[in-house]
Structure 1
Amino acid sequence: MSDPLSGDAGDAAARVDRMVAEAKQKAQRYQAMQAAVGQVSVTETGKDGLVTVTVDSAGNVTDLRITDQVRECSGAQVAAAVLTTLRRAQARLPDRLGEVMAETIGDDRQTMDTIVGNYRARFPEPEPEEPDPGEDRNVRNLGGIEEESAPKPSPVRRPPGDSDDGDDGFGQSFMTRG
């Protein structure tokens, strides 16, 4: 690798000027990215249309709309709808921010991947929604194990006369302990 300042003094000065100009352009692109990212918002509407949530680029709620259908729901249903919709909106932030960053600093893949990765870690995809209580409960997930039918582990039982005397049998086979 050659030294950018070696060689003719006129060439070195031109290279330094070019490097300074490139650094200024890069700084301007990053400032534009920062401003564009600050304007990002994501709006998500719940599957039943009950709730609409808007979040800003930091994942904070900036708007929350709840329809009059809320009168037909329990508090738990409303809370679940709000939280689920909020998480779905936040989970869309990394992709939206990636789009904005590609438009402004598209040539800096490492920075984009780092920032988008941090957002994905902070706002992961939400868990799949639980079925509504009104849905058909006779449908089964083939290959899955229903929680209530899963076998329960049996309790550990000690042989008669075996007490916990503080000897943990370290270094001994549990089969020969006596």
Structure 2
Amino acid sequence: MSQPSFGGDGFQTEQELRRWSAGVAAKAERYQEMQTEVAAVSVTESSREDFVSVTVDATGAVTDLVISERSREISGAELSELVLRTMRLAQSRITEQVAEVMTRTVGDDPQTVAAVVDSYRARFPEPEPEPERPTASTVDEMRLGRVDDGDEPPRQRPGRSTRPSHDDPDDDNPDDDWGGPSILR
């Protein structure tokens, strides 16, 4: 909006003041509309496997939290982590919606748009990516025992096997691999 040019004749000055005043009123109305729409922003995000759903408002406050019955499949620590991670993800999505509202309502004021969007971005940064949960297909190797620093596989200790051989003449029950009476009889 341009500034009025004063100093001409009285009629021209009056016309400029009216034009300028109407522009200020229109701009104030657009800013009021922007403020109302930003206040109505709400974002809902769901966690992996839909264990958790979190809704946040424009201030980042949680307005709804849904924890599914399936969440019983994971530990309390994992559930807590999912709630916080999902909340942060929802909060980080607020910036996108605020930027869209700002551009639509007061986009002719790029400094204001940039300042507001940057403040949301600083307040609600993008969360770290979720660590991948190991599954049967992602586990390459599993070892029991102490992990050594070297690349050598763990050495077997010399010693005799505790399992009796079926060829042992002192074995009372050749069908039992563990050397004792069967518990199934």
The 5 A counterparts of 1:25-36 are 25-36=26-37
Q: Spell out, residue by residue over 1:86-106, the C-alpha distance to the aligned partner (whole angstroms, 9 max, x if none).
A: 111011111101111222112
Task: For 1:9 and 1:65, locate their aligned partners in 2 and report how far apart those are by CA, in whole Å.
Answer: 66
Residue in structure 1 matched with residue 51 of structure 2 by the alignment: 50
TM-score calculated relative to the size of structure 2: 0.71
Residue in structure 2 matched with residue 66 of structure 1 by the alignment: 67
Aligned AA (2:59): A
1:80 maps onto 2:74 in alignment: no
The 5 A counterparts of 1:140-155 are none
Structure 1 residue 4: deviation in Å? 1.1
Task: For 1:16 and 1:97, locate their aligned partners in 2 and report how far apart those are by CA, in whole Å.
Answer: 33
Task: For 2:109 and 2:46, locate their aligned partners in 1 and report how far apart those are by CA, in whole Å.
Answer: 33
Structure 1 residue 137: deviation in Å? 4.2
Query: What secondary structure is seen at the aligned counterpart in 1 of 2:26?
Result: helix
Task: For 2:139 and 2:116, locate their aligned partners in 1 and report how far apart those are by CA, in whole Å.
Answer: 42
The 5 A counterparts of 1:1-178 are 4-134=5-135, 136-138=138-140
Identical amino acids, percent of aligned pairs: 45
**Structure 1 runs (4+) greater than 4 angstroms displaced:** none
Residue in structure 2 matched with residue 159 of structure 1 by the alignment: none
RMSD: 1.9
Aligned AA (2:140): N
- Give structure 1 stretches of 5+ with no counterpart: 140-148, 150-178
- Structure with bigger gyration radius: 2
Task: For 2:37 and 2:124, locate their aligned partners in 1 and report how far apart those are by CA, in whole Å.
Answer: 20
Task: For 2:139 and 2:119, locate their aligned partners in 1 and report how far apart those are by CA, in whole Å.
Answer: 39
Task: For 1:45 and 1:116, locate their aligned partners in 2 and report how far apart those are by CA, in whole Å.
Answer: 24
